[in-house]
Structure 1
Amino acid sequence: MKLASKKDVEAPIAKVWAVVTDFESWERSAMRRGVEVARTDSLRAPGVGMAWHARFAYRAKQRKVDLTLTEMAAPGAMAMALVSPAVEATTRIELIEMSAKRTRIHVTTEIKPRSLGARLFLQSLRLARAKVDRKFDARIAQFAAELEARSKLPVRPDAAGA
């Protein structure tokens, strides 16, 4: 199942890239939402190969996923792979400079089942495709608004990509 959404952010591409690649901040944000996050790589600087293990509750069950950064091309593209016992997913974030102070963010996610239960779950999502697309689009709009708000804050000198 493939999902895609585009949103515009009122911020320069360099600032948006700095916020998108501030991985420590995203880790803290996930932890505030109840996700247990552990970094599993030994890289000193942000780059391809960064990896995390995450545990969280979803639909009354504990889920475990492994995330790996598979692409990082400043300041335009980043991709991550997610692997769990039930699904494999890839997410790609592309930043396109529209003007000096406007950036378009394009997010695509592709989900593939790895189990029968996941296959049935994805089939039910396909049947409700319009609702799933609306929810995905709303979540990307929320992500874009968060990027815009965070890009207006001063960037820490030790932040990734700064």
Structure 2
Amino acid sequence: MEFTSQEDIEAPIDRVFAALSDFDTMERQAMRHGAKVRRHPTGADGTGPRWTAGFRFRGREIEAEVSLLRSEPPETLEFSGKAGGMETGMQVDLTPLTPNRTRMTVRAQLAPKTLSARLLVQSLKLARARMTRKFSVRVAQFAKTLETRAQKAA
């Protein structure tokens, strides 16, 4: 299952990418929302940083592993993750529209690997329109946060 959303941000692409790749701030933001986040060091083989995050989902404690797969400044960040029988992927692409305006496109994929994860994805498919709307709202909120941080960095 895949979700896609795009938002325009009133800031130059390099500042948006800097705000997007400020992992310390992202970790603190996740912790403020109740997640327990731990960053693992960058691998000796050149692999990007990895995180372990614990959070509550539908009354259950879930532990997720997230890795940075690819970083191509100032245009692309790609992540992969595993949580509760689900493999996930997220790609964030930035496109400059003008010198002070950037379009952010976010793609998220869910791939169930267990029966319970398949049931969850099936229920999400039944509510696809509502889930797509929620995803778009979250991306818009995130874009607004990035815009504020990018403008403060000016």
In structure 1, the partner of 2:143 is: 144
In structure 2, the partner of 1:99 is: 98
In structure 2, the partner of 1:119 is: 118
Native 8 Å contact 2:84 2:117 kept in 1: no
Offset at residue 152 of structure 1 (A):
1.3
Structure-2 separation of matches of 1:96 and 1:33: 29
Structure-1 separation of matches of 2:41 and 2:62: 20
Structure-2 separation of matches of 1:42 and 1:2: 28
Offset at residue 113 of structure 1 (A):
0.5
Task: Note closer, same or farther for the CA distance 1:72–1:42 as it changes in structure 2 (3 Å cut).
Answer: closer
Counterparts of 1:1-162 in structure 2, within 5 Å, are 1-42=1-42, 48-154=47-153
Structure-2 separation of matches of 1:18 and 1:32: 21
Structure-2 separation of matches of 1:154 and 1:17: 12
Offset at residue 114 of structure 1 (A):
1.5
Provide the secondary structure at the position in 2 that maps to 1:140.
Answer: helix
Residue ranges of structure 1 left out of the alignment (5+ in a row): 156-162
Provide the secondary structure at the position in 1 that maps to 2:31.
Answer: helix
Which runs of at least 4 in structure 1 moved beyond 3 Å after TM superposition? none
Native 8 Å contact 1:48 1:72 kept in 2: no
Q: What RMSD in Å do the two structures reach over aligned CA positions?
A: 1.5
Matched positions, count: 153
Offset at residue 154 of structure 1 (A):
2.6
Native 8 Å contact 1:89 1:111 kept in 2: yes
Provide the secondary structure at the position in 2 that maps to 1:152.
Answer: helix
> C-alpha deviations, 1:37-82, integer Å up to 9, x for none?
01122469xx842100010111111000000000000000000001
Q: Aligned letter for 1:83?
A: K
In structure 2, the partner of 1:159 is: none
Q: Aligned letter for 2:101?
A: R
State the percentage of identical aligned residues: 37
Native 8 Å contact 1:55 1:65 kept in 2: yes
Structure-1 separation of matches of 2:67 and 2:30: 16
Q: Aligned letter for 2:78?
A: A
Native 8 Å contact 1:36 1:54 kept in 2: yes
Q: Aligned letter for 1:10?
A: E
